Amino acid sequence: MSNVVNIILDLLFPRRCPVCGQIVMPKGALICGACMKKLSWVRGPVCKCCGKEIISETMEYCPDCAARPRAFSHGMALLNYNEISAPSLAMIKYHNRREYLDFYAEAAYRRYAGNIARLSPGLIIPVPVHKSRLKKRGFNQAEEFGKRLSEHLKIPMSSEFLIRSKKTVPQKDLGPALRLKNLEQAFFCKKLPPGVKKVLLIDDIYTTGSTAEACARALKKAGAEQVYLLVIAIGSGR
């Protein structure tokens, strides 16, 4: 019966490519073969803290992480944030294309499952959105990504601990220092379970790192000893 239902759903709502938006062929694939080649995958060398591409293997950190010590560590990013990945992630966030996250979660799992296993986080926590935005949008894209990733990794995910308690002004026109100041007191974290000392913080996009930093600080105040970071796309450092 479940197979019949899946066939009917596939006919009514065929899977669409997260890059071009067209129906994916062959059936069962999560992305067009041609579009897979268009994506700019993060490649080494990368910053040891945020995971952003850096220009030389002699560098340990990108300029941003070298200038500002971070509360999080061992960042991992799947894609460079550019003219291909940006529209795809915008379709998820603003046009409810949550099915695109099936591809991104599977790709993140294939690439980083080994790294994450070595880090051994006890909990996956998504960057939260303010309740007013959640009501308007209907979902949190980071949480949706986390649900899928949790299924792949067999690590529990929870959105009940880290809370966005303050609605901040738009960040896009602010520099790094003002972004972090804008986010101060915006996040609150309930006390984590006693056995959870390592957390995998996840989000869709990383630009200056201000949001990740504010969240990591809140998580550490709540009992986390290590906060690792995984994002779908990151601003390129090259």
DSSP string for residues in 147-203 = HHHHHHHT--B-SSSEEE-SPPPP-TTS-HHHHHHHHTTTEEEPPPPTT--EEEEEE
Find the range with the poorest average confidence among 154-168, 174-188, 218-232.
Answer: 174-188
pLDDT in tens, 179-215: 777 777 789 999 999 999 999 999 999 998 999 999 9
Q: pTM for the complete prediction? A: 0.90
What is d(CA 103, CA 28) in angstroms, rounded to the nearest whole number? 11
pLDDT in tens, 98-157: 999 999 999 999 999 999 999 999 999 999 998 988 888 999 999 999 999 999 999 999
Q: Is the pLDDT of residue 11 over 70?
A: no
Positive or negative torsion for Cα 166, 160, 157, 47 = positive
What is d(CA 183, CA 202) in angstroms, rounded to the nearest whole number? 17
**Token pair in block for residue 176:** 């790094």
Q: What is the pLDDT of residue 142?
A: 98
What is d(CA 169, CA 171) in angstroms, rounded to the nearest whole number? 6
What is d(CA 84, CA 93) in angstroms, rounded to the nearest whole number? 15
Cβ atoms of residues 186 and 168 within 8 Å: yes
